[in-house]
């Protein structure tokens, strides 16, 4: 039976636990020129770059097929590789990031652009290039038709509001593009976070911010118990049985609501909270080797994921820490471009 709850008391407890580390959270400025345009880039160029890259930032690795490659002698994985190749294209062919060019992108263009050496004599490329190309064409055509090809016009017309009136806010306006039609708005809020951090989008209604919910954040929500699932759903996650579309949406919406409570209880801005949680999911509460079942790693301690004894900072309240049945990997929902 499908049963799902947002555990308010547990979310508030997690928030109180996070409050003392609030000032230690490392906030990414998104100015590392390996991945992002330099600080000197115009607001229009920055807006266009992130609008394009976030549109394709989904499901890069698949079971048995990691998206991991070598660019100019350095190895990158997942989103790091995607954005590294994005900046390589931005530097070598900036005209690619124009609406008129995007409107004509073909599948093979995406494959050539986003492929890299695997370091072993072969090549690695992202899955579903047809979908990514379609999302870019849709983005280019609608940008031309609605905003004269200028992504900054979308920001100006939203007047700094994430939600405004009947669909006039930034998040709502993004829904016209196929890439940003996820019901849980992961890509939309990720884009808003990028653009706010780069001072391109000045958010006026901070109360409408949400964390961009991806698999890392869902995994943490279920393990810590801020989202409760019935036993059959836990077992479904443990066996990697694919969730239905409805189950995925319900689970991520519950996680988003729970993290809103965590944000309020901790006093941490939702976009800053996302910075921490995303890195925490990558380095500490990993899918297969979480810190509490292994040991504190340098990458984990560097983000404040461990206490002075080398234990996970969430262990005092985390339900999976005490109940191994809740130490599930993550829910399976692969065939999507939502996140």
On average, the pLDDT of the chain sits at 94
The model's confidence at residue 296, banded by pLDDT at 50, 70 and 90, is low
- CATH code of 61's domain: 1.10.340
Q: What are the pLDDT digits (tens) for 187-236?
A: 999 999 999 999 999 999 999 999 999 999 999 999 999 999 999 999 99
Same-domain pairing of 54 and 119? yes
The model's confidence at residue 311, banded by pLDDT at 50, 70 and 90, is confident
Same-domain pairing of 109 and 15? no
What does the pLDDT read at residue 95? Answer: 96
What does the pLDDT read at residue 180? Answer: 98
Instruction: Report if residue 255 sits inside a domain.
Output: yes
What does the pLDDT read at residue 295? Answer: 65
**What average pLDDT does the segment 50-77 reach?**
95
Structure tokens at 273: 């909270």
What does the pLDDT read at residue 297? Answer: 66
pLDDT at residue 22 is higher than 90: no
What does the pLDDT read at residue 303? Answer: 73
Lowest mean per-residue pLDDT among 116-120, 143-147, 307-311? 307-311
Strands 4-6 and 74-77: unpaired
Q: How many domains does the chain have?
A: 2
pLDDT at residue 179 is higher than 80: yes
Same-domain pairing of 89 and 48? yes
Q: How far is it between the farthest Cα atoms of the chain?
A: 57
The boundaries of the domain holding residue 18 are 4-27+210-326
Q: What percent of the chain has pLDDT over 70?
A: 96
Please tell me the distance from the alpha carbon of residue 198 to that of residue 33, in angstroms, as a whole number: 13
Same-domain pairing of 217 and 281? yes
Please tell me the distance from the alpha carbon of residue 108 to that of residue 110, in angstroms, as a whole number: 5
Same-domain pairing of 61 and 9? no
- CATH code of 220's domain: 1.10.1670
Q: What is the dihedral of CA 294, 297, 300, 303, to 10 degrees?
A: 160
Same-domain pairing of 214 and 322? yes
The model's confidence at residue 41, banded by pLDDT at 50, 70 and 90, is very high
Q: Are 273 and 266 in contact (CB under 8 A)?
A: yes
Instruction: Report if residue 178 sits inside a domain.
Output: no
Same-domain pairing of 73 and 152? yes
Q: What are the pLDDT digits (tens) for 132-164?
A: 999 999 999 999 999 999 999 999 999 999 999
Instruction: Report if residue 223 sits inside a domain.
Output: yes
**What average pLDDT does the segment 263-292 reach?**
93
Instruction: Report if residue 143 sits inside a domain.
Output: yes
């Amino acid at each position: 039976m499908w049963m799902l709850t947002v555990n308010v008391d547990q979310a508030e407890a997690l928030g109180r636990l996070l409050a003392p580390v609030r000032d230690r959270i490392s906030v990414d400025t998104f100015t590392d020129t390996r991945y992002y345009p330099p600080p000197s880039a115009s607001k229009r160029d920055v807006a266009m770059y992130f609008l394009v890259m976030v549109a394709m930032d989904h499901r890069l690795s698949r079971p048995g097929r990691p998206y991991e490659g070598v660019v100019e002698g350095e190895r990158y994985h997942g989103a790091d590789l995607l954005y590294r190749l994005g900046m390589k294209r931005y530097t070598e062919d900036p005209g690619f990031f124009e609406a008129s060019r995007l409107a004509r992108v073909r599948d093979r263009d995406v494959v050539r652009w986003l492929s890299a050496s695997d370091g072993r004599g072969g090549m690695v490329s992202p899955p579903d290039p047809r979908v990514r190309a379609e999302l870019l064409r849709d983005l280019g055509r609608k940008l031309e038709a609605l905003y004269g090809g200028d992504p900054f016009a979308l920001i100006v017309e939203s007047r700094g509001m994430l939600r405004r009136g009947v669909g006039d806010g930034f998040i709502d306006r993004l829904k016209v593009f196929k890439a940003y039609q996820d019901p849980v708005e992961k890509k939309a809020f990720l884009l808003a976070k990028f653009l706010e951090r780069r001072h391109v989008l000045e958010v006026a209604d901070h109360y409408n911010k949400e964390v961009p919910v991806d698999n890392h954040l869902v995994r943490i929500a279920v393990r810590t118990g801020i989202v409760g699932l019935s036993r059959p759903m836990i077992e479904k996650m443990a066996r990697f049985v694919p969730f239905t579309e409805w189950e995925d949406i319900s689970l991520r919406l519950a996680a988003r609501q729970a993290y809103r409570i965590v944000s309020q209880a901790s006093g941490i801005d939702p976009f800053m909270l996302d910075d921490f949680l995303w890195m925490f999911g990558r380095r500490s509460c990993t899918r297969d080797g979480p810190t509490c079942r292994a040991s504190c790693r340098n990458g984990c301690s560097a983000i404040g994921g461990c206490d002075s004894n080398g234990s996970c900072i969430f262990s005092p309240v985390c339900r999976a820490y005490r109940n191994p049945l809740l130490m599930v990997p993550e829910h399976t929902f692969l065939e999507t471009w939502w996140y």
